[in-house]
Amino acid sequence: MREDDPLVAGTLRIWNRIGRSTGAQAISLRIMEFAPGLSPGIRNAESDEILYVLDSKRDSLVDLSAQVIIDGRSHGISADTGIYIRPGETFAVNNSGTGSIVMVSSQCPDLVCQPEFVEAITSPNTDSNASLPLVRLADRPAQPTADRWYRVLIDDAVGSDQVTQFVGSIPPGRAPDHFHQYEEVLFILKGEGRMWAGKTNTPIAPGSCIYLPKRQVHCVENTGPGELRLLGVFYPAGSPSVRYEG
């Protein structure tokens, strides 16, 4: 997740992992690390941007004490929370803790351009009736599929009719190969295993970033003794339970 040199702007460091420059068609995945203090504003021009706050314990950080400020409106954030940034909105993070806060970001469509940094907006300038843009993992019901579960965080109920964000739990073992009719990125949150794409495979562990093209036959194998947990974002939106045998 932190390979290569990051883009640096104020308290923010960004690692671009997946996007059109790496072969994706319309989806991206980047790692955003916010050091203590107020970050610059990041303007989200034309995409749906979906954020996920990583658990500080998994990332060996000191604490998690921060607010995300979206068009001047502040929202307290906690670990394992999904955040929806609408097209045209500007967001920043005010980190009042002592350690960095790390988020996984996906944009759809990926615009193949550098982030647009602006001065952080710290007070709202318009009224808004938009739904709350934050969803905690613990507040979402688990949807069972065979011997595993998933929880949807960001979807049309929050305001995004283009993108779906979910967290999935995979027990030890390997499920049958399958494919989807959408483009997908995965981020491994917990556990170890192997990512299969047809007959080839590669090891995966916390921090691994994965891109799956539309109709790519694949399977995540959990090779450890406990749970493997992953974050998934796919475009166009739909249900994580819909899959086709490979």
Residue 36 in domain: yes
| Domain's final residue, options 136, 151, 176 | 136
Structural domain contains residue 229: yes
The pLDDT of residue 79 is 94
Residue 1 lies in a domain: no
Question: Is 66 inside a domain boundary?
Answer: yes
Answer yes or no: do 132 and 219 share one domain.
no
Band of residue 61 on the pLDDT scale cut at 50, 70, 90: very low
Tell me how crowded residue 198 is: count the other CB atoms within 10 A of its CB: 11
Instruction: Check residue 60 and give its pLDDT.
Output: 40
In this predicted structure, the answer to whether residue 113 has a pLDDT above a threshold of 90 is: no
153 and 90 both lie in a single domain: no
Calpha distance 244→220 (Å, rounded): 15
Q: Which of 112, 136, 160 is the last residue of a domain?
A: 136
Count of domains forming the chain: 2
- Least Cα distance to 235 among 170, 160, 177, 178 occurs for 160
Q: CA nearest 71: which of 46, 51, 44, 95?
A: 44
**SS3 category, 199:** coil
Range of the domain at 11: 7-136
Whether residue 44 sits in one domain with residue 26: yes
Give the pLDDT band (50/70/90) at residue 98.
Answer: confident
> pTM to 2 decimals?
0.93
Same structural domain, 148 and 130: no
Both 146 and 229 in one domain: the answer is yes
69 DSSP β-pair partners: 74, 92
Q: Phi-psi bin for 173: left (phi > 0), alpha (psi -120 to 50), beta?
A: left
SS3 content of the chain, % helix, strand, coil (to 5): 0, 50, 50
Residue 63 has pLDDT above 80, yes or no: no
In this structure, which amino acid lies at residue 131? S
Cβ(31)–Cβ(2) under 8 Å?
Answer: yes
pLDDT digits (tens, 9 = 90+) for 185-224: 999 999 999 999 989 999 999 999 999 999 999 999 999 9
Q: What is the pLDDT of residue 112?
A: 78
As a residue count, the chain comes to 246
pLDDT in tens, 127-178: 566 678 999 999 999 999 878 999 999 999 999 999 999 999 999 999 889 9
The per-residue pLDDT for 146 is 78
Whether residues 234 and 157 fall in one domain? yes
* Residue 155, domain CATH: 2.60.120.10
